[in-house]
Amino acid sequence: MSNNSRVIFTKEMKKTHKILIPNMIDIHFNILVDVFKAEGYDVELLENKGNSVVENGLKYVHNDTCYPALLVIGQMIDALNSGKYDLDKVALIITQTGGGCRASNYIHLLRKGLEKAGYSHIPVISLNLSGLESNPGFKITIPLLRSMIAGVIYGDCLMLVSNQVRPYEINKGETDNLLNEWIHKCADLLNNGKGISTKEIKEYCKDIVLDFKKIKTNNEKKVKVGIVGEIYVKYSPLGNNQLEDFLKKQDVEYMVPGLMGFALFKVDNRLEDIKLYGGKVIKKAAVKILYNYLIKMETALYEAIVENSDFIPIGRFENTKKIVEGVVGYGSKMGEGWLLTAEMMELVELGYENIICTQPFGCLPNHINGKGMIRKIVNKMPNANIVPIDYDPGATAVNQENRIKLMLSIAKENIEKN
């Protein structure tokens, strides 16, 4: 099968096929699954993990390809090999960013892997806003897009407040129990077409904040850690060797920047492209409308937090962009681009000066804007304590964890000094 003869996901397939979604970020994706179900799609979030995922990735993807591609494709093929699905009534979905990152080409690598594995008849759906590929049976409608954006906002809200409460909870497990309750509540809301407007989002985020405030906590002083990096290994336990679970065992508080910041970054890049290279007026107007809409959603979340709690709020995108001015240019936008540098600086400002920069080995944009910018950040912010950690099939968890422990020991020394 060549890319020119790709299998189309037809309107009939929408009624008969189950769509498998690779997992990246548990909270958000468990909400978004119900968004797609509300639109009539039969979807399932993949939870398979372990050595077989990596082995399938290495078998069907060239080992020079970046680690996230290897894991995503490995997870999909591992699921198809499991015997759990009717292979004549299953489809796969994968995002395409449309930028210069290899993420735009994962879909082609996936199709080559499927052909090699004997699954070339299985349709692969591209989830993108760039017009790269289309399928008659899968459409990103305005209602679907609005629900997806709302799902991202609720996911960011839940991730932010739960991470700030969990390390200090008196009754262990209470935070995660409430988190799971709210994931189901948010999914049900969106499944029923509710919680989508700015007013509703602000109100429900307020309810989330107030609920998590009720959890009894102590006043212990803990090391604060920020997690940044390439989007997949930053969020995915499969990609970062269960990094968040490891940090929980180290008894620290950690902050992970929200997914909405990345979404705004990708939309803002389109505006920068038009500013630098020109473009159609109608395209600029459409992108600007989407940008302003995302800013409104971000503002609703921010206000829900600062007006109802003393939780450290999300970083506002326009502040995130401003903070990196003069440090790295906005033209550095492949992969996570300047956003990666900016998130590190913003985390330091917010008090999370101990930072783990997660990097897939061989991801050039990430190494330039992550590891490559550490000295410049430390020169500007001397209290920054940043450790870059490479993730790939050959990297051992022991080595990664030891390097993080060294960073944490420096963080504890700094607390004692202060």
User: What are the residue ranges of helices labelled H in 47-140?
Assistant: 51-60, 67-81, 106-117
Q: Give the C-alpha separation, 240 to 237, whole Å.
A: 5
Domains in the chain, start-ordered, CATH in brackets?
A: 3-139 (3.40.50), 141-220+260-311 (no CATH), 221-257+315-418 (3.40.50)
How far is CA 308 from each of CA 200, 204, 301, rounded to the nearest angstrom? Answer: 16, 12, 11
Average pLDDT for the chain: 92
pLDDT given at position 239: 93
Q: Give the C-alpha separation, 393 to 105, whole Å.
A: 20
pLDDT given at position 2: 44
Structure tokens at 289: 């409308």
The one-character DSSP state at 381 is -
Residue 269 near residue 333, CB atoms below 8 Å: yes
Q: What is the SS3 assignment for 416? A: helix
How far is CA 200 from each of CA 65, 206, 245, rounded to the nearest angstrom? Answer: 42, 10, 33
Q: Give the C-alpha separation, 39 to 161, whole Å.
A: 29
Residue 4 above 60 pLDDT? no
How far is CA 216 from each of CA 165, 170, 175, 177, 211, rounded to the nearest angstrom? Answer: 9, 6, 10, 14, 11
pLDDT given at position 314: 86
pLDDT given at position 279: 79
Which residue's entry shows tokens 């979030």?
Answer: 45
b (16+ CB within 10 A) / e for 372-409: bbbeebeeebeebbbbbbbbbeeeeeeebbeebeebbe
Q: Express as a percent the part of the chain with pLDDT over 70.
A: 97
List Cβ neighbours of 2 (8 Å cut-off, separation of 6 or more).
none
Mind listing the pLDDT tens digit for each residue in 294-349? 999 999 999 999 999 999 998 899 999 999 999 999 888 888 999 999 999 999 99
Mind listing the pLDDT tens digit for each residue in 187-240? 999 998 899 999 999 999 999 999 999 999 999 999 999 999 999 999 999 999
The helix (H) or strand (E) run that includes residue 305 is helix 281-306
Structure tokens at 402: 């030891």
Phi-psi region of 72 (alpha: psi -120 to 50; beta: other; left: phi over 0): alpha
Mind listing the pLDDT tens digit for each residue in 98-139? 666 666 678 888 999 999 999 999 999 988 876 678 889 999
For the entire predicted model, the pTM comes to 0.93
Query: Which is nearest to 87 in space by CA: 27, 16, 30?
Result: 16
Structure tokens at 306: 């600062």
Task: Identify residue 94 by its one-letter amino acid code.
Answer: I
Mind listing the pLDDT tens digit for each residue in 131-152? 678 889 999 999 999 999 999 9
The pLDDT of 366-375, averaged and rounded, is 91
Task: Identify residue 253 by its one-letter amino acid code.
Answer: E
Burial class of residue 70 in the structure, from the number of CB atoms within 10 Å of its CB (0-12 exposed, 13-18 middle, 19+ buried): buried
Task: Identify residue 164 by its one-letter amino acid code.
Answer: Q
Residue 50 pLDDT class (50, 70, 90 cuts): confident
Q: Give the C-alpha separation, 159 to 205, whole Å.
A: 12
Residue 158 above 50 pLDDT? yes
Residue 240 half-sphere exposure, CB side, CA atoms within 13 Å?
A: 27
